[in-house]
């Protein structure tokens, strides 16, 4: 089974939910750039202070900051046997930085989650209780635009290792597909 896995898909596609399930099932870390940045904001670190308003607007945090954060995380012992990257790389610049740091086999499979936009909006508006600053409707639209403009080109960049996964249905149904896709 692939053990250096990238989860790609639009906001709300279920990347974080499925990445955590898979990480628990196969014992490799789930590395979420969004979760790490939200933690930095909550802790009031220098990184968090720089990232907070950018994230609240639905834009991307500068590449140099995110690349440094993820490279430090990938250097930890628990990532030696594999990892699930969720939210990074998010554009071509970040993908090139990852390749420069770890080589072409930094990612051996990319799961691409497909969910229609109306359902994505319902999911994101439906988790209001989590209090994410970027889950307001206007910001959700901005996040979709950023995904289309910045992140979708990665589908082409990793075309030789992409596996499409239908992200609709229950969490358990999607997880069955994820496990099936990875063999
Ligand atoms: P990030 O945290 O990566 O947010 P995102 O890509 O917008 O993804 P989400 O977490 O909203 O969705 P998801 O696909 O993980 O779905 P989830 O499982 O949560 O990034 C946030 C921000 O941080 C960015 O906008 C940017 O500012 C910054 N950032 C992050 N990485 C960066 C980078 N590399 N470079 C620069 N900036 C970066 O599920 C969503 C909801 O749906 C949940 O409520 C869940 O319970 C529910 N759900 C999940 N699966 C199902 C299902 N099958 N059926 C029904 N509901 C479901």
Q: What is the DSSP string of 93-141?
A: HHHHHHHHHH-GGG-SEEEEEE--HHHHHHHHHTTGGG--TT-SHHHHH
Would you state the pLDDT for residue 131?
92
Q: What region does 131 belong to: left with phi over 0, alpha with psi -120 to 50, or beta?
A: left
State the residue for tokens 């099936």. Answer: 180
Q: Which long-range contacts (CB under 8 A, 24 or more apart) does 116-119 make?
A: 116/168, 117/10, 117/144, 119/12, 119/168
Would you state the pLDDT for residue 110?
98
**Whole-structure pTM value:** 0.98
Q: Which residues pair with 162 in a beta bridge?
A: 110
pLDDT by residue, tens only, the chain of 183 residues: 889 999 999 999 999 999 999 999 999 999 999 999 999 999 999 999 999 999 999 999 999 999 999 999 999 999 999 999 999 999 999 999 999 999 999 999 999 999 999 999 999 999 988 999 999 999 999 999 999 999 999 999 999 999 999 999 999 999 999 999 998
Would you state the pLDDT for residue 3?
95
SS3 68: helix
Which residues lie with the beta carbon below 6 Å from any ligand 1 atom? 9, 11-17, 33-34, 37, 54-55, 58-61, 66, 87-88, 90, 94, 123-124, 127, 134, 143, 170-171, 174
Q: E strand or H helix at 36, and its extent?
A: helix 33-43
Q: How far apart are CA 145 and CA 151, in angstroms?
A: 10
Say if CB 57 and CB 140 are below 8 A apart: no
In order, the DSSP letters of 147-171 are IIIIITHHHHHTGGGEEEEE--S-H
Token duo for residue 75:
């250097």
Beta-carbon-side half-sphere exposure of residue 66 (alpha carbons within 13 Å): 27
Residue 1, exposed/middle/buried by CB under 10 A (0-12, 13-18, 19+)? exposed
**Which of 15, 18, 34 to mutate for ligand 1's pocket (most ligand atoms within 8 Å of CB)?**
34
Quote the ligand 1 centre to 12 CA distance (angstroms).
Answer: 5
Would you state the pLDDT for residue 2?
85
Residue 163, exposed/middle/buried by CB under 10 A (0-12, 13-18, 19+)? middle
Beta-carbon-side half-sphere exposure of residue 5 (alpha carbons within 13 Å): 27
Would you state the pLDDT for residue 1?
83
């Amino acid at each position: 089974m692939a053990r250096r896995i990238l989860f790609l898909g639009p906001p709300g596609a279920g990347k974080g939910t499925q990445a955590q399930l898979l990480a628990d099932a196969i014992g490799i870390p789930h590395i979420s750039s969004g979760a790490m940045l939200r933690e930095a904001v909550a802790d009031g670190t220098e990184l968090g202070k720089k990232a907070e308003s950018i994230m609240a607007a639905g834009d991307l945090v500068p590449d140099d900051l995110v690349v440094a954060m993820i490279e430090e995380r990938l250097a930890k012992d628990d990532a030696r046997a594999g990892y699930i990257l969720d939210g990074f790389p998010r554009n071509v610049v970040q993908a090139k930085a990852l390749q420069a740091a770890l080589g072409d086999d930094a990612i051996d499979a990319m799961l691409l989650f497909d969910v229609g936009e109306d359902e994505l909006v319902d999911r994101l508006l439906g988790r209001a209780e989590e209090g994410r600053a970027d889950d307001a409707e206007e910001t959700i639209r901005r996040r979709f635009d950023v995904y289309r403009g910045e992140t979708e080109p990665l589908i082409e960049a990793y075309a030789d290792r992409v596996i499409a996964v239908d992200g609709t249905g229950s969490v358990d149904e999607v997880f069955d597909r994820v496990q099936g896709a990875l063999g």
